[in-house]
Amino acid sequence: MPSRPVVLVTGAAKRLGRAIALELGAHGWDVAVHHRRSPAEAEEVVTALETLGARAASFVADLADETACAALVPAVVQRLERIDAVVNNASTFEHDDVATFSYAAMDLHWRANAAPAIVLARALHAHLAGSTKTGCVVNLLDQKLWNPNPDHLSYTLSKAALQAATVVLAQALAPQVRVCGVAPGVTLPSGPMSETEFAAAHRLTPLARSSTPTDVAGAVRYLLSAPAVTGTTLLVDGGQHLSPQPRDVYFLANSETT
């Protein structure tokens, strides 16, 4: 069996998932690079990881499909010969509010943002059961849960479900698997946000800076290596959760730049 631990990072082909994968690959982890429909970008991440000295392989799966999601951990074990951790980073982020909410919007976000994390954590636990090895799951949440506003309602509810699942899974899967969360703030531009609007949004915190991909990736790496930490979430957001806001930061930043 390979000596380096293996971590599955979902949504690892781009953006924050890519940063997390490269951070872990540079610090002793081999990486399963999951993507849904970004094969070229996933292979670029695999190549970058191999340059860092890590073993890596890409895996495609639509995590909203329960069968495909359940097959992902066994596929990683077959290809990389072990799995020690899962980082649930893949996420759907579409805007709605109370006026535009629908069952379909809620179902879309639940299937992408909450249910897969439970299925993958369960699969990791099943893989490790009966051995002396321990594992860890890190769920990517959002500071918005500690600083709520009515924007992105279905997304927020799905992340709230994931935060609750983080606590429940930590109880259910102990002592073999630890389960933790990381809640970033404004980390990368999203949707139609311009670079100017992103810079304004990034400053709307007590520290006058929100999180960077490096900040978030470092927090994930810490939790994977912290044997006494489970069932809790690190807020990595420049203190954004300490400043109540009536709307999503995108809309506030947009008003500052217009």
Please write the tens of the pLDDT for every residue from 120-140: 999 999 999 999 999 999 999
pLDDT > 70 in the chain, percent: 95
What is the model's pLDDT at position 196? 81
130: tokens are 């009966």
Provide the CA 169 distance to its chain's centre, in angstroms.
Answer: 16
CB atoms within 10 A of CB 14: 15
pLDDT tens, residue by residue, 222-233: 999 999 999 999
d(CA 30, CA 83): 9
d(CA 61, CA 72): 7
d(CA 76, CA 59): 8
In our burial notation (b when 16+ CB lie closer than 10 A, e otherwise), range 134-169 reads: ebbbbbbbbbbbebebebbbbbbbbbbbbbebbeeb
Residue 203: pLDDT band by 50, 70, 90 thresholds? confident
Environment class of 253 (CB within 10 Å of its CB; exposed 0-12, middle 13-18, buried 19+): buried
d(CA 119, CA 181): 16
Type of residue found at 23: E
Count H helices, E strands: the chain? 10, 7
What is the mean pLDDT of the segment spanning 133-158?
96
Q: By C-alpha distance, which of 12, 63, 5, 54 is closest to 33?
A: 12
pLDDT exceeds cutoff 60 at 255: no
Q: By C-alpha distance, which of 17, 19, 5, 124 is closest to 55?
A: 5
Alpha carbon of 150 to those of 27, 34, 247, 256: distances in Å? Answer: 39, 31, 7, 20
pLDDT tens, residue by residue, 167-189: 999 999 999 999 999 999 988 77
Q: What average pLDDT does the structure give for the chain?
A: 94
pLDDT exceeds cutoff 60 at 253: no
pLDDT exceeds cutoff 80 at 248: no
CB–CB of 26/223 below 8 Å?
no
d(CA 62, CA 70): 10
pLDDT tens, residue by residue, 101-124: 999 999 999 999 999 999 999 999
8-state DSSP, 13: T
CATH 3.40.640.10 describes domain 6-189+210-239: no
Note the pTM of the prediction, 2 decimals: 0.94
